C-alpha cells in the first residue's frame, strides 16, 4: 500500500520553473524556445496539478476511511471559470509561478489568459455550484461534485450587423485541457429503455441499450486547507465503437450511429435558464450522470464489496440535488437498493430519504421540471413503476395525516400523465431549501405551500454566497491589498466576516480616498480590457453602471434600457441642462436562451440603442451604452471590480436570490435594486442608507395582479416612459422601421407580465438621488466601502457552514 504523505511542500520559483520546463519537454514536447504562451499554460497547469496530487490522495483516503460524512453535490452545471490562477492561489504557488514564467520569458498574465474558459453552466445555478465546491474544499469538508463534462458548453454569443444575438457552438475541448483526467478504469454502465419483466417474483429491468459513463476528474483545491476534493464530470462513450458489419457493407454513416447516439448524451449543455424543456435528451443526460454518480459513490465507499451494508450509506455521504435536474436520482437509488442489492422497499426508502436533500432555485412554478410519464416510461420503465409506488405511498401517508382530498390531488407526484420532479424531491429527501430568506419564505407560502403545511420541518433557508477567493482576491487584487492593509491581516479570505473591521475606516477620509483610487484603477484597467477584447473606446471619467446576468423578462433589462432611452431623449430635447448631466457609461452583458423570442429582441434593442446613442454627437461625453458580447466568468472578473453602480432590478418575488448582487457589493459597487431575492438581505446588512431601493414589494405586486394590471395606464401617466416607448415604436432605433420592435412594444403596452412599466417612474426618480450622491465622491466611496465592510456574510463559506449545520449534519475532516 502506498503511504499517504502530506501535501508536497512549496517549491522555490527556480524549482517551479524547472518543473514547467520538464512538462514542456516531456508532455508538450517543445523546447522552452519553441514554447508559446499556450504551451506554457498547459505545462504550468500540469505542474500545479502535480503539486496537488498528494493532498488529493490524502483527502480521498481520509474521506473513505474517516468517520466524517461526505457531501455529494449533484449538479447538471458547474460554471468553473478559468482554473490556473485559482489553482495557483489555493496551492500557494502564485509568486513562484510569476517568477518562473518570467524566467521563461513570458508575462504571467499572458499565461493565465491563454486558458480557454470552460462554460459548463448557464448562469447563477452553475456558478453557485462552482463556488460551493471551492468553499467545501476550503473548509476541509470531504466532498464530490458530480456532473457532466459537456463537449459543448454554453454557446458563444456574438451580434450580427443588425444587433441580433448569434449563437455559435463553444467547442472548448478543441484546445488541450490539462485539468480533467479521464479515468477509463472507473467507468460505469448506464442503461435505458427496454421493459420490466417478472422473474421469480422479482421485477427485472431488461434495458434496450446502454452507454459507458467515463469519469473525468478535476481537482478542487481548498484555500489554505491542505485539502483537495474531486469534481467528477461524466462523459458518455459508446460500447459499440463501430458496427463492423455495417462498415463492411460500406455504410459508413450507419456504422457510427450507435456511437453517435451514445456520445450525444454528453454533447451539449442545454442553453436554458429557468424555463422548462421537454427534451428526451435532457432526461437522458440527467439520468446518465445521476446513475453513474450513485454507483460511483457506492464503489468509493464500499471498495471491493459485493454485498455492502448499504444501511450505512446515509452515514457515508449526503447528496444535495441542485434544482430538479438530478431528482431522478431518488427513484434510481431506490432501484439500485431493491433490484441490485435486494433490499426491501421500506429499508430502501429509509436509506433514500436520509440520503437526499433538495435546493430549489426558482419561484416561477413553470420553471419546476415536469416530465411526461410516457417519456419516463419509455426511457426508464422501472423508474416509472417505482415513482408510481412512491406516489401511492405518499397519498396514503397524506390520507393518514388527514389531508383533504383536493389538497392531495394538488400534491400528487405522479398525476398519471406526468411526474413533478420538485414534488418528488420534496417528499423523497430530508430537507428542502430556498436560496435567500425571502425566496425560502415564498417557497413555503406559495410555490410549495401544500408541502410546507404537511412537512414544515423539512423546509429551511440557506442564503447563497460567493467565493471571495475568485471574486475578490483574483478579480480585484487592488482592493484585496487595501483590505489586507486596513485589517492588518489577510485572514479575511477564509473568514469574510472579518471585513466588518473596515467599517470604522469609512470615517477615515484618507482610507476612503485610497479605496476610491483602487476603483479608479480598476476602471482604467477595464478600459484597457474593453479596448483589447471589443475594440471599444470607453471614457473612464464617467460613472460605470452595469447590468450583467441572463436575459430574462423578470430580470427586467427592459426597465434599464427604457430608462437609458428616456435619459437620451432628455439630453437631446434639452430637458436637462448640460451642467445637470452626470456622464454615465452603461454596460450590459446577457445571453438569451436561443429560443426565447422577446429576450433576443431585447438584446437587439439594446445593441441598436447603443449604436444610436454612441454615435450621436449631442450626447457625446454624457451617455454611452455598451452591450458586451458573451458575458462569462472572465468578463465578470474584469467588469465587476470596475463597476460603481450595479443594477438588481427584477420584479419583486421573482429572482430567487441573485449572486451577482453579492459580487458587486463585495467589490465596492452601490446597488440600485428592488426588494427581491438576496437584495433584501444585502440591504439589511449594508444599511438602507447605502442602498438605492425602489419599486413595488412582493405584496404590492400580488395586489396589482389581483386588482388587474393595465400597463397602458402607466405609459399614459409618465411622459418620460411614454416618450421612451414611443422612440422604440417610431423606428428611432431601427432606421425608421416601425415594425422592428412591434412585438416588444405590444408586450409592454398590453401584457407586461413583470410590471416593468409600473416600476418605471420609481426607477427613473431614484436616478436623481444616485447622481446627487455620485457628485460627492467622498460620500459615494464611503458608502461603497461600507458595502464591502458589511457584505462578509455573503461568502459561500458561510453558505456551506449553514448547509453543514441545517441540512448535511457533517463537518470538516479531522
Query: Helical H runs in 124-195?
Result: 124-138
- What b-and-e string marks burial along 118-147, b requiring 16 or more CB atoms within 10 Å of the CB? bbbbbbbbbbbbbbbbbbbbbbbbbbbbbb
Nearer to ligand AZC, 85 or 369 (CB): 369
Q: Which residue is nearest to ligand AZC (CB)?
A: 124
- Cross-strand pairs, 192: 209
Nearer to ligand AZC, 281 or 582 (CB): 281
CB proximity list for 143: less than 8 A, separation 6 or greater:
70, 71, 72, 73, 133, 136, 137, 220, 229
Written as nine digits, the cell of 780 is: 459615494
Pairwise CA distance, residues 130 & 124, whole Å: 10
Binding positions for ligand AZC, 183-222, rule CB under 6 A: none
Neighbour-count burial of 346, counting CB atoms closer than 10 A to its CB (0-12 exposed, 13-18 middle, 19+ buried): exposed
Written as nine digits, the cell of 742 is: 412591434
CB of 114 to ligand AZC, least distance (A): 29
- Which single residue is written with the C-alpha cell 438584446? 603
CB of 756 to ligand AZC, least distance (A): 18
Q: Rounded to the nearest 5 degrees, what angle is found at the Cα of 803, between the Cα atoms of 798 and 806?
A: 115
Nearer to ligand AZC, 284 or 676 (CB): 676
361 forms part of the interface with ligand AZC (CB under 6 A): yes
Q: How far is CA 735 from CA 374, 597, 728, 740, in A?
A: 49, 21, 11, 9
Pairwise CA distance, residues 787 & 813, whole Å: 34
125 forms part of the interface with ligand AZC (CB under 6 A): yes
Provide the 3-class DSSP secondary structure of residue 758.
helix
Q: Segment near ligand AZC (CB under 6 A), from 327-335, 487-495, 650-658, 760-768?
A: 650-658
Say how many C-beta atoms besides its own lie within 10 A of residue 507's C-beta: 10
Instruction: Tell me, by CB under 6 A, how many residues bind ligand AZC.
Output: 18
120 forms part of the interface with ligand AZC (CB under 6 A): no
CB of 179 to ligand AZC, least distance (A): 23
Binding positions for ligand AZC, 257-276, rule CB under 6 A: 273-274
Pairwise CA distance, residues 131 & 261, whole Å: 33
428 forms part of the interface with ligand AZC (CB under 6 A): no
- Which single residue is written with the C-alpha cell 458496427? 243
Q: Which residue, among 235, 232, 183, 242, has the nearest Cα to 211 in the 3D structure?
A: 235
Strands 202-206 and 195-199: antiparallel
Provide the 3-class DSSP secondary structure of residue 395.
helix
Nearer to ligand AZC, 125 or 527 (CB): 125
CB of 488 to ligand AZC, least distance (A): 33
Q: Segment near ligand AZC (CB under 6 A), from 55-63, 119-127, 404-412, 712-720?
A: 119-127
435 forms part of the interface with ligand AZC (CB under 6 A): yes
Pairwise CA distance, residues 606 & 611, whole Å: 9
98 forms part of the interface with ligand AZC (CB under 6 A): no
Binding positions for ligand AZC, 307-326, rule CB under 6 A: 323
CB of 361 to ligand AZC, least distance (A): 4
Nearer to ligand AZC, 76 or 379 (CB): 76
Nearer to ligand AZC, 295 or 591 (CB): 591
CB of 322 to ligand AZC, least distance (A): 9
659 forms part of the interface with ligand AZC (CB under 6 A): yes
Given 45, 83, 96, 122, the residue binding ligand AZC (CB under 6 A): 122
Pairwise CA distance, residues 422 & 446, whole Å: 14
Q: Are 395 and 319 in contact (CB under 8 A)?
A: no
Catalytic residues: 361, 549-550, 555, 659, 663
Q: What binding mask, one character per residue, do residues 381-420 give for ligand AZC by CB under 6 A, x or -?
A: ----------------------------------------
Q: Segment near ligand AZC (CB under 6 A), from 62-70, 445-453, 504-512, 653-661?
A: 653-661
Pairwise CA distance, residues 353 & 754, whole Å: 37
Helix axes 777-789, 756-774, angle to 10 degrees: 110
608 forms part of the interface with ligand AZC (CB under 6 A): no
461 forms part of the interface with ligand AZC (CB under 6 A): no
Given 7, 72, 108, 123, the residue binding ligand AZC (CB under 6 A): 123
Given 44, 112, 128, 755, the residue binding ligand AZC (CB under 6 A): 128
Given 629, 653, 658, 668, the residue binding ligand AZC (CB under 6 A): 658
Q: Segment near ligand AZC (CB under 6 A), from 13-21, 91-99, 116-124, 750-758?
A: 116-124
679 forms part of the interface with ligand AZC (CB under 6 A): no
Footprint on this chain of ligand AZC (rule: CB under 6 A):
122-125, 128, 273-274, 323, 361-362, 435, 464, 655-659, 677
Amino acid at each position: 500500500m502506498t503511504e499517504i504523505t502530506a501535501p508536497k511542500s512549496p517549491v522555490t520559483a527556480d524549482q517551479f520553473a524547472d518543473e514547467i520546463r520538464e512538462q514542456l519537454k516531456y508532455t508538450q514536447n517543445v523546447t522552452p524556445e519553441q514554447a508559446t504562451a499556450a504551451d506554457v499554460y498547459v505545462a504550468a497547469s500540469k505542474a500545479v496539478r502535480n503539486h496537488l496530487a498528494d493532498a488529493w490522495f490524502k483527502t480521498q483516503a481520509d474521506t473513505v476511511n474517516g468517520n466524517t460524512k461526505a457531501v455529494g453535490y449533484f449538479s447538471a452545471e458547474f460554471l468553473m471559470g478559468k482554473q490556473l490562477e485559482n489553482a495557483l492561489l489555493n496551492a500557494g504557488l502564485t509568486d513562484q509561478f510569476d517568477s518562473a514564467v518570467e524566467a521563461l520569458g513570458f508575462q504571467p498574465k499572458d499565461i493565465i489568459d491563454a486558458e480557454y474558459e470552460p462554460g459548463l453552466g448557464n448562469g447563477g445555478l452553475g456558478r453557485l455550484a462552482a463556488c460551493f465546491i471551492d468553499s467545501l474544499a476550503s473548509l476541509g469538508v470531504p466532498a464530490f461534485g458530480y456532473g457532466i463534462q459537456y463537449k459543448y458548453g454554453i454557446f458563444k454569443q456574438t451580434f450580427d450587423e443588425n444587433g441580433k444575438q448569434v449563437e455559435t457552438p463553444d467547442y472548448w475541448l478543441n484546445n488541450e485541457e490539462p485539468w480533467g483526467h479521464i479515468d477509463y478504469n472507473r467507468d460505469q454502465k448506464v442503461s435505458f429503455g427496454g421493459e420490466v419483466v417478472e422473474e421469480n417474483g422479482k421485477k427485472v429491468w431488461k434495458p434496450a441499450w446502454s452507454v459507458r459513463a467515463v469519469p473525468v476528474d478535476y481537482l478542487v483545491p481548498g484555500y489554505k486547507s491542505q485539502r483537495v476534493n474531486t469534481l467528477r464530470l461524466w462523459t458518455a462513450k459508446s460500447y459499440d465503437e463501430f458496427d463492423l458489419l455495417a462498415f463492411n457493407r460500406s455504410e459508413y454513416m450507419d456504422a457510427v450511429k450507435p456511437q453517435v447516439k451514445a456520445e450525444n448524451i454528453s454533447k451539449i449543455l442545454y442553453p436554458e435558464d429557468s424555463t422548462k424543456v421537454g427534451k428526451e435528451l435532457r432526461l437522458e443526460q440527467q439520468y446518465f450522470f445521476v446513475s453513474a454518480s450513485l454507483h460511483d459513490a457506492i464503489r468509493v465507499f464500499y471498495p471491493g464489496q459485493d454485498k455492502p451494508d448499504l444501511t450505512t450509506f446515509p452515514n457515508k455521504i449526503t447528496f444535495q440535488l441542485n434544482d430538479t435536474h438530478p431528482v431522478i436520482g431518488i427513484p434510481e437509488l431506490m432501484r439500485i437498493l431493491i433490484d441490485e442489492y435486494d433490499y426491501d422497499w421500506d429499508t430502501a426508502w429509509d436509506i433514500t430519504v436520509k440520503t437526499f436533500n433538495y435546493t430549489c432555485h426558482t419561484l416561477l412554478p413553470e420553471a419546476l421540471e415536469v416530465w411526461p410519464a410516457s417519456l419516463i416510461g419509455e426511457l426508464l420503465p422501472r423508474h416509472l413503476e417505482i415513482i408510481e409506488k412512491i406516489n401511492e405511498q405518499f397519498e396514503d401517508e397524506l390520507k393518514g395525516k388527514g389531508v383533504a382530498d383536493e389538497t392531495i390531488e394538488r400534491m400528487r407526484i405522479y398525476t398519471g400523465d406526468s411526474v413533478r420532479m420538485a414534488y418528488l424531491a420534496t417528499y423523497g429527501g430530508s430537507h428542502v431549501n430556498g436560496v435567500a430568506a425571502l425566496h425560502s419564505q415564498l417557497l413555503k407560502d406559495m410555490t410549495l405551500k401544500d408541502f410546507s403545511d404537511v412537512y414544515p420541518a423539512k423546509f429551511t433557508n440557506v442564503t447563497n454566497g460567493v467565493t471571495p477567493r475568485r471574486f475578490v482576491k483574483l478579480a480585484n487584487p487592488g482592493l484585496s491589498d487595501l483590505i489586507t492593509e486596513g485589517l492588518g491581516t489577510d485572514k479575511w479570505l477564509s473568514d469574510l466576516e472579518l471585513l466588518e473591521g473596515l467599517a470604522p475606516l469609512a470615517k477615515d477620509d484618507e482610507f476612503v480616498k485610497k479605496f476610491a483610487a483602487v476603483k479608479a484603477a480598476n476602471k482604467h484597467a477595464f478600459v484597457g480590457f474593453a479596448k483589447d477584447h471589443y475594440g471599444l473606446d470607453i471614457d473612464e471619467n464617467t460613472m460605470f453602471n452595469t447590468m450583467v446576468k441572463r436575459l430574462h423578462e423578470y430580470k427586467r433589462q427592459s426597465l434599464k434600457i427604457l430608462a437609458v432611452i428616456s435619459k437620451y431623449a432628455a439630453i437631446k430635447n434639452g430637458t436637462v441642462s448640460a451642467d445637470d448631466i452626470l456622464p454615465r457609461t452603461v454596460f450590459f452583458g446577457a445571453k438569451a436562451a436561443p429560443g426565447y423570442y422577446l429576450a433576443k429582441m431585447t438584446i437587439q434593442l439594446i445593441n441598436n440603442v447603443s449604436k444610436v446613442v454612441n454615435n450621436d454627437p449631442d450626447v457625446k461625453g454624457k451617455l454611452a451604452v455598451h452591450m458586451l458580447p458573451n458575458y462569462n466568468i472572465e468578463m465578470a472578473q474584469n467588469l465587476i471590480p470596475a463597476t460603481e453602480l450595479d443594477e438588481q432590478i427584477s420584479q419583486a418575488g421573482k429572482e430567487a436570490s441573485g449572486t451577482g448582487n453579492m459580487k458587486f457589493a463585495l467589490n465596492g459597487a452601490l446597488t440600485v435594486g428592488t426588494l427581491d431575492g438576496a437584495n433584501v438581505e444585502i440591504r439589511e446588512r449594508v444599511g438602507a442608507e447605502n442602498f438605492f431601493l425602489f419599486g413595488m414589494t412582493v405584496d404590492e405586486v400580488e395586489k396589482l395582479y389581483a386588482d388587474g394590471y393595465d400597463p397602458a395606464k402607466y405609459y399614459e401617466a409618465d411622459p418620460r416612459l411614454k416618450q421612451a416607448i414611443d422612440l422604440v415604436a417610431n423606428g428611432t432605433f431601427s432606421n425608421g422601421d416601425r415594425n422592428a420592435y412591434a412585438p416588444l412594444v405590444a408586450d409592454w403596452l398590453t401584457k407586461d407580465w413583470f410590471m416593468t412599466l409600473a416600476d418605471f417612474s420609481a426607477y427613473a426618480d431614484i436616478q436623481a438621488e444616485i447622481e446627487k450622491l455620485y457628485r460627492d465622491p467622498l460620500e459615494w466611496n464611503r458608502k461603497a466601502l461600507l458595502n464591502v465592510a458589511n457584505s462578509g456574510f455573503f461568502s459561500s463559506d458561510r453558505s456551506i457552514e449553514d448547509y453543514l449545520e441545517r441540512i448535511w449534519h457533517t463537518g470538516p475532516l479531522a
